[in-house]
């Protein structure tokens, strides 16, 4: 909890610094230099982290597929769970990237002391809210292309029109604004209230 308070204070301080700097005539520093330095630090840290992961040895085999592999002709292969051709691999990756298929099959440990056993139940909420969050983020990303392209492509304008179709308030409340908040609230709440996730976070 102390870490959460520290992070919150850091965010407040970072939000206050530019305002104070602009008032002191340092708009160029906070508007130009600091963002470039921040991006450089982020990229350097990201590269360092990836190189660290790449250099870390994995001492055991990690199973990455959940189905029957290609073997004998009379044994039915799970083609998209354990692909053996490039096309099957592309389909499997598309399902993972676009539909979060692994999360869809996620299970939750269900302790049943009255029955004297442990069971596993379906856990679709993580899949649903992760899908909501990430697709909303994608729409926001696409929508922001209007700031960088001139003329703005019709597909970007169309996405923005659909996203703002309810026309709630001024400025417009986009659907993805609501979905992003709902998705991130669930995912963050899960980290706080689920003891297992909280422990490994």
Residues of the domain holding 47:
1-62
Residue 19 lies in a domain: yes
How many independent structural domains does the chain possess? 2
Residue 99 lies in a domain: no
Angle at which helices 154-163 and 125-143 pack, to 10 degrees?
Answer: 130
Residues 38-86 pLDDT 10s: 889 999 999 999 898 888 876 666 556 677 777 888 888 887 788 888 8
Q: How far apart are CA 6 and CA 109, in angstroms?
A: 32
Residue 86 lies in a domain: no
Residue 75 lies in a domain: no
**pLDDT surpasses 70 at 137:** yes
Residue 144 lies in a domain: yes
**Which of 62, 93, 113 delimits the end of a domain?**
62
Q: How confident is the model at residue 147 (pLDDT cuts 50, 70, 90)?
A: confident
Q: How far apart are CA 109 and CA 197, in angstroms?
A: 12
What is the number of other CB atoms lying within 10 angstroms of the CB of residue 132?
19
- Mode of pairing for the β-strands spanning 107-112 and 117-122: antiparallel
55-77 burial by CB neighbour count: b if 16+ within 10 A, else e? eeeeeeeeeeeeeeeeeeeeeeb
Residue 133 lies in a domain: yes
- pTM beyond 0.85, yes or no: no
Instruction: Find the angle CA(156)-CA(161)-CA(167) to the nearest 5 degrees.
Output: 145
**Which of 23, 43, 62 delimits the end of a domain?**
62
Mean residue pLDDT across the chain: 82
**pLDDT surpasses 90 at 132:** yes
Residue 166 lies in a domain: yes
Q: How far apart are CA 95 and CA 168, in angstroms?
A: 34
Residue 96 lies in a domain: no
């Amino acid at each position: 909890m102390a870490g959460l308070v520290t992070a919150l204070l850091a965010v407040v301080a970072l939000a206050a610094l530019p305002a104070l700097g602009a008032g002191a005539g340092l708009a160029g520093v906070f508007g130009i230099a600091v963002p470039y330095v921040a991006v450089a630090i982020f990229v350097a840290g990201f590269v360092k982290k990836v190189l660290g992961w790449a250099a870390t040895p994995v001492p055991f085999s990690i199973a990455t597929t959940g189905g029957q592999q290609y073997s004998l002709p009379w044994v039915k292969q799970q083609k998209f769970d354990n692909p053996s051709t490039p096309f099957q691999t592309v389909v499997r990756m598309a399902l993972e990237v676009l539909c979060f298929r692994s999360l869809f099959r996620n299970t939750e440990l269900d302790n049943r002391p009255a029955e004297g056993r442990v069971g596993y139940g379906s856990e679709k909420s993580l899949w649903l809210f992760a899908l909501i969050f990430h697709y909303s983020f994608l729409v926001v990303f696409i929508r922001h292309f209007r700031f960088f392209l001139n003329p703005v492509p019709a597909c970007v304008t169309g996405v923005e029109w659909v996203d703002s179709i309810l026309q709630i308030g001024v400025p417009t409340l986009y659907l993805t604004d609501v979905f992003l908040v709902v998705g991130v609230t669930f995912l963050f709440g899960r980290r706080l209230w689920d003891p297992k996730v909280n422990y490994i976070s």
